[in-house]
Chains A and B, each alone.
Chain A
Amino acid sequence: MCTVCGCSTATIAHSADVVPHTHDHDHDHDHDHDAETIDFGKGAAGVDVAGLSQGRTIRIERDILSKNAAFADANRARLRAKHIFALNFVSSPGSGKTSLLVRTINDMKARCSIAVIEGDQQTSRDAERIRATGAPAVQVNTGKGCHLDAHMIGHALDRLSLEPDSLLFIENVGNLVCPAAFDLGEAHKVVVLSVTEGEDKPLKYPDMFAAADLMLLNKADLLPHLDFDMQACLTAALRVNPNIEIMIVSARTGEGLAAFYAWIDARVGG
């Protein structure tokens, strides 16, 4: 059971159809309420008649994502307690997130233990690709959902027995828009862009590049075959996020990945 939400989610499947935590006391007040109120508001247009209003206003002033933020903070505290460094990989579909994770795990597994949470709308193909490396992986299927949220990650963490001082890679649903808004409790978002997608992506999807601390520009092995304007791409990324770090890599050849591993090592140590 999730200690934050108290829900008893038995499976790790989430979909937009699941209504969380409903309670049954909806109608406690309806009956005498109905008897003493003549509701002019139930007319066709649903408008209220001034002066007879039974309504009152409750000020709330809460961030709509505050529930997600609370789950994310809980995840972060859990990870911190075990000194686990978590990265949230975001990109459009097919830019090479799983390929990069597979390569990174194979290159780093001798010196640290790594676990993966895979987010996709359907199938457990990506988790199977990760497990083939020997690393544990939990697949979260979001159904109609277009992003992972912190609540799903909390449940995925329940499934993984993470070793202290290990790495956790979270592969988000392939989507360059929605995952930007959802903190999962990770240390950093890493945005993956492949050179086949075009150099203007950071300008077209600025929120994601603004939310990320590192950009892996993948499929560099294909550059000789493309008219990709590298300088324009770097300029665009830095325009929407002056602090983003950028590495040019290839999951196929391994080019540039030593810098990524060093980036991880520097942060795990510190």
Chain B
Amino acid sequence: MHEVSLVESMVALVEDERRRHVFSRVRTIGVQLGALGHVEPEALRFCFDAVTRGTIADGAQLRIETIPGQGRCSACQRIVALHDRFATCPACGHADVRITAGDELRLAELEVE
């Protein structure tokens, strides 16, 4: 599964931060995952320790914030909650709902020392 390469990408971003800030250890890595996105939080957690071992992020805790799905219906223009990427508009039934939140795959913050 590509969660391994996502964690590798996270480590690379942490390396970038270390070029800007002085720190020797990362305590937590805070990520935001959209509920409608491609990534299973459990799968990410599952490989996190193994992939970060021996890197700057070794020993860090992974904190996942889930961003709920939201979209704008192109027919009725309402902002609606989405539980499914391909859901129809719960208000009017139209199929063309543009996702406005819930697609995130973002490194939000680091707690370092």
Contacts and interface: CB of A to CB of B under 8 A. Distances in A.
A57 B110 contact: yes
A56 interface: yes
Nearest to A58: B110
B112 to A, nearest CB: 6
Contacts of B100: none
B24 to A, nearest CB: 5
A15 to B, nearest CB: 11
A78 to B, nearest CB: 21
Contacts of A26: 24, 56
Contacts of A48: 27
A225 interface: no
B38 A180 contact: yes
Interface of B: 1-2, 4-6, 8-10, 12-13, 15, 17, 21-24, 27, 31, 38, 54-56, 59, 61, 85-86, 95-96, 105-113
A136 interface: no
B112 A242 contact: no
Contact of B15 (A23, A28, A53, A60): A23
Interface residues of A, number: 47
A145 B5 contact: yes
Interface stretch (A64-72, A83-91, A113-121, A185-193): A64-72
B2 A206 contact: no
Contact of A60 (B12, B55, B105, B108): B108
Contacts of B95: 239, 242
A64 B17 contact: no
A20 B9 CA distance: 10
Interface in A25-67: 26-30, 33, 41, 46, 48, 53-67
Given A48-B27, A146-B1, A60 B17 contact: yes
Nearest to B104: A63
A16 B24 contact: no
A242 B96 contact: yes
Contacts of A19: 8, 54-55
Given A178-B2, A210-B85, A240-B86, A55 B111 contact: yes
A62 B31 CA distance: 9
Interface in A144-199: 144-147, 149, 177-178, 180-182
B30 to A, nearest CB: 8
Contacts of B27: 41, 48, 55
7 contacts: A16-B4, A23-B15, A26-B24, A62-B107, A180-B38, A206-B86, A210-B85
Contacts of B13: 60, 62, 64, 66-67
Nearest to B86: A240
B2 to A, nearest CB: 4
A128 interface: no
A20 B12 CA distance: 8
Among all A-B residue pairs, the 7 with the closest Cβ atoms: A178-B2, A55-B113, A54-B113, A58-B110, A64-B105, A181-B38, A29-B24
A207 interface: yes
A267 interface: no
A206 B9 contact: no
A68 B38 CA distance: 16
